Amino acid sequence: MKRHLRRNYQSTACLFVAIFCTQLITACGFSKTNNTLKRDTLMTTEQHKTREIYLAGGCFWGTEHFFKQVVGVVATEVGYANGKIKNPTYEQVCTDKTQFAETVHVVYDPEKITLTKLLEIYFEAIDPTSINQQGPDRGSQYRTGVYYTDPDDRSVIQAFFDHKQRHLNDHIAVELQPLKNFYKAEDYHQDYLEKNPNGYCHIPSSLFEYARKANK
């Protein structure tokens, strides 16, 4: 009888401890579900604050590094935009037969930098009248282009292009198109010049200093 009562007491005590621990874990926010919801909420909030634009400016190693210097740019990623095949590789893009442009996906904070200001800085890093060439790099993959995901951005970009055209003798060769597709480039291309400080870059190093100061 005593053994039976002791066993009942132990079971009750264990049940109480289990319930208490469960409530404590939930209250402290250690629930996997709660953490997921909280993380998703934060991601949604951050995404709501930022905007994006896709910019092709020749070899994406230098173009990405250039934009990483700009105050207001919060993230960059290099890849291949507006081509005609799925999941292209770097080797395929370099054949000049896929119609992809080496492109930088730029995510920026509109409270710190406007799209127009970002375009002004972009035009300093390119030759806007050159067709399929930036620096020594030649081929359609090295063409310049501004690719948007928000239709409202088109009028802003067009107004900027019109303004720049009035100050140029040659026609602007920079594409202005909606983004049709974008495939992230291989990992070794991401942040290339941070991983390889002495690596190839078609953009003069002096322009990186310009980019750091351009939006201060």
Is-contact 115 149, C-beta < 8 A?
Answer: no
Report the pLDDT value the prediction gives residue 80, as an integer from 0 to 100: 98
Q: pLDDT per residue over 110-139, tens digit each?
A: 999 999 999 999 999 999 999 999 999 999
pTM above threshold 0.85: no
> Which position among 28, 59, 94, 201 bears the catalytic label?
59
Angle between helices 206-213 and 60-68 (to 10 degrees): 40
HEC string for the chain: CHHHHHHHHHHHHHHHHHHHHHHHHHHCCCCHHHHHHHHHHHHHHHHHHCEEEEEEECCHHHHHHHHHCCCCEEEEEEEEECCCCCCCCHHHHCCCCCCCEEEEEEEECCCCCCHHHHHHHHHHCCCCCCCCEECCEECHHHCEEEEECCCCHHHHHHHHHHHHHCCCCCCCCCEEEECCCEEECCHHHCCHHHHCCCCCCCCCCHHHHHHHHCCC
For tokens 């282009």, name the residue: 145
Q: pLDDT per residue over 56-80, tens digit each?
A: 999 999 999 999 999 999 999 999 9
Q: Block means of pLDDT (10 residues each) for the chain, length 216 residues?
A: 41 41 37 33 54 98 98 98 98 97 98 98 98 97 98 98 97 98 98 97 96 95
28 is catalytic: no
